[in-house]
Amino acid sequence: MRALLSILVLAGLLSGCATQGLYDWGDYEADLFDYYHQPGDKERVIENLVQHLDRMAAQGRKPAPGLLAEAGTYYLLAGDAATAVDFYRQEAAAWPESRPMMATLITNLEAK
């Protein structure tokens, strides 16, 4: 009986630790689904993502990898290349691993 109680306590402690993910994605997954399946919601999806990124910046937290680039791509698809380049630069600054790809995108957009 004591062993069973110990196992339950350990399982409870471990499950409590697993509830916080490494990155804060906000509502990205649900919004991404809406972006592709409910075309009328595209502006709302972009606004939600930008608000999430603004909240993270205000809290001094680093955004999840790719979220800044995703926001840039949303703006690029909406026809706003200047804002897209700004988000691509932010992604490159936040995530050095993305610099080669972001640099290529920025160079190509600025050449147009």
Give the pLDDT of residue 21.
78
Tell me the whole-structure pTM to 2 decimals: 0.79
- Tens digit of pLDDT for each residue in 24-73? 999 999 999 998 999 888 899 999 999 999 999 999 999 999 999 999 99
Give the pLDDT of residue 7.
63
Where do we find the tokens 């147009």?
112
Give the pLDDT of residue 50.
96
For residue 3, pLDDT over 90 is answered with no
Domains of the chain: 23-111 (1.25.40)
